[in-house]
Structure 1
Amino acid sequence: IQVGRTGTLAPVARLAPVTVGGVVVENVTLHNEDYIKGIGNKGEVLREGRDIRIGDTVVIQRAGDVIPQIVDVVLDKRPKSAREFHFPKKCPCPLHTDVVRGETAAGEEESRARCSGEFACPYQKIEHLKLFVSRRAFDIDGLGEKQLQYFFDEGWVKEPADIFTLEKRNSKLKLEEIEGYGATSVRNLFGAIESRRRIALERFIYALGMRHVGETTALALARGYGSWEAFHDACLKVAKGDEEAMAEMDALDQIGDTVIKSIADYFGESHNRGIVERLTGEVEIIDAEKPKSNSAVAGKTVVFTGSLEKMTRDEAKATAERLGAKVSGSVSKKTDLVVAGPGAGSKLAEANKHGVKVLTEDEWLKLIGE
C-alpha cells in the first residue's frame, strides 16, 4: 500500500517481471479496494466479477503505451494457496490512523480510501514536499526526492518554509560535511533555492497541494483573483462559510463545489494556515498575467504532441495560455489546432481523423508571432 500526498491509500501489485511493449513491468496499480474485490469501477479495465488474489496470474497491458493495467485474472492458473487481500483499516504510517472513505459532491461514497491523519501523517507530509519542489511547482533544482527524504528524516525540512531557511541554519546543520555533499554542491543548492523565492501565483497555488487543485484549476483561480492577497482573502472567507465569497469563487471558469469544499477544508485548518503564513514570509508571489484576448489563438483549443525542439512542452503550454488559448491533453472534434513535432503518434492520427488543422512547431511560432 502506498500513501499519496492527499492520504489516498493506493494498492500496488508486485509482479514477476514481464516485458510489455518493450518495457519490463514489475508493478501495476490496483486502484482501490473495490477493484481488488472485483466489484469494478467505471473506467477500469479488469473484467467485472474477477477478484484479484495474492498468487494469481494476471493478463496486463500498457494503457496508451504508458500505464500498466490488469486486464484479467487467469482463473485456470490460480493456485490453491492464493490468498485474498484484506484492505487495511489503519494507515501503514507510524500513526496508524483510521482509514476512511469520504463522500463525492453527489453524496456518494468515494471509491478510494484515505488516511485520516491529514498533515500529521508523515507519508502525506513528504509527498506534499515532493510536489512543492517539483517541476510544475517551485522547480527547485538539486532538491530531488532522495535529498528531500534525507532532510525530512533528519528533521531539517518538515514544511515548505524550512527549505528557504536552510542556508540560514547551515552554520549548525553543516550540509557540506554530509557524505555526497561538498562545498560546491551545497552552494549550488542554496543558489537554486534562492532563485525560486519569486514565483508566479498559479504555480504557488498549485504548490500548496490542495486536493482537487491541479495545474489547470490553479491557473483558473490565479487568473480569477489576480493577486495572492485577493485569493488568500477569498479562501479565508470561504473557509468561514461566507456565501458571497463562495458564490464569487463558484462563478469562476472550471471551479465548482468540489474545489470550493477542498479550499474551505484546507484554509479551515489552523495548521495549514500556519504553513501558508510561514511560507509567504519567505517568498514573493507574482500577480497573475491576464490572458490576451486579441491574439491569433485566443479562445482556441490547442493540443501539443510529439517532440518540440525549440521549447519544452511546459513552455509551449504556458505561452499558449498566456495568449488566451486553452491547452488540452486529448484531441476531439472541438480541438482547433494540433501542434505536432517529430514522433507524433495517436494524437496526430486523431487530428487527421477529425479534420483538425495540424501545424509544425515553426508554423505555430509564426502564427503566434514568436
Structure 2
Amino acid sequence: MTSPASNLRELLKSHVDTGALPGAVALIAHHDRVDVQAVGSLDAAGALPMGRDTIFRVASLTKPVVAAAIMTLVEDGRFALGDPIGRWLPELAAPNVVRTPGGPIDDVIPVTRPITVFDLLTFRAGYGFPADFSLPALAPLFTELGQGPPRPQAVPDPDEWLARLSRIPLLHQPGVAWLYNTCSDILGVLIARISGRSLPDFLAERLFEPLGMVDTGFSVPAADLDRFAYCYRTSPTGGLDLIDAPDGQWSSPPAFPSGAGGLVSTIDDLHAFTRMLLAEGGAAGRQLLTPASVRRMTTDHLTAPQRDASRLFLEGQGWGFGGSVDVEPVDPWNVPGRFGWVGGTGTAAHVVPSTGTATVLLTQVELSGPTPPTLMRDFWRLASG
C-alpha cells in the first residue's frame, strides 16, 4: 500500500516528467498531519534542485492576504465594511459608469451610489474583468494600469496609478456585477492610505511577522535569489519560454506593490497563512483575526446570477473576500465551504474549515487561461480523497 506522501510525490513527478513544468512544491495538511513534497528543479535546464524553501511568484494568492489585512483594520475600528471609500480615496468618490458595458468608453453616466469597502472586497465595485475581454472600457485597464500578468517594474506608483484609474469609467454600477482583479489593487492602495504605511510595511507588521512568514514580500533580497524559481510560459510548440529570471522583475522593490498579484512566498509561509484562517496557527495566529472576521472572508457573498455571469473565472463557485468559495459539487475536489484561490503564475492555496484541511501547490509555469490546469485538478482530487 502506498502512503499519502508517496501518492503526492508521484503525482508531482508524473507532471514534471512530461516536461510540462520544471518542478513543483506541494503541501496537504489535515490539522497537524502535514505532507510536503518538492520535485524537479527551479529552472528548465534542471541545474537547480527544487526545495521546500524555494521562493515563488504567487500572483493572485496575494488577494486573500490583502483581504485579511483589510479585516485587521476593520477590527481596529478604523472603518466599517459599508463605508464609502471616497473618504480615503477621493479620486474614486464620484466615478462615472459606461452607459452599457459594451458601449463607447466616453458614453457615461454617474454612479447611483458610492463604492464601499464591501464592494471592493466582494469584487463588485464596477472595476475589473468580465468574461468578455473585448469590451471597449477594458482596454485602459491594460494600457494605463498594467492590469494582467504581474509586471512589478512596469506599473506607476500608487498615487499616479489611482489618478489614472479615476479617469477610467466603471463597467457596471457598484454592487451589480462581479469583476475580476482590479479591486484587490485598489484595496492595497486603500490600506496604505488608511494606515499611513506602505502596503509592504503594513503587511509585514500585521501579518507576515506575527505569522512567521519570513520569505513573503513584494521582492526577493539579493541574498535569497538562489532560492527564487525561474518563471515560464508554455510556448505554442509545447516547450517553455522564460518570462522572468531570479534577477528580473522581483529582484528590487516595485513602485506599485500590487495587492492583486505582487507577492512572492514559499510553501511554509503560505501554510502559516492557511493555519491562521483555520485558527490553527498558535496563539499569535489565532489573534490576528477573530473567528467572525474569518467567517466573513470565507463566506460566499454573491447572488446566483452574479455567480452564473462569472463562470469563466469561478466555474460556479462563489466569492468571499479575496478568494472563491465552493458552493456547487461539480468535481470530486469541490467541497462546499472550501475557500481559496489560484495564481496565474501556477499557484494555488485553499482551506476547508469544516475538515481542518489546507492545500498549497506552487509551480513556476504560467496558466494559459482562467481554467485551472490538469495538475491542479489532480492535486485537489488527491487532497480531497
Q: TM-score, normalised by structure 1?
A: 0.28
Give the number of the structure with larger relative contact order, counting CA–CA contacts within 8 Å between residues 6 or more apart.
2
Structure number with greater Rg is 1
Q: TM-score, normalised by structure 2?
A: 0.27
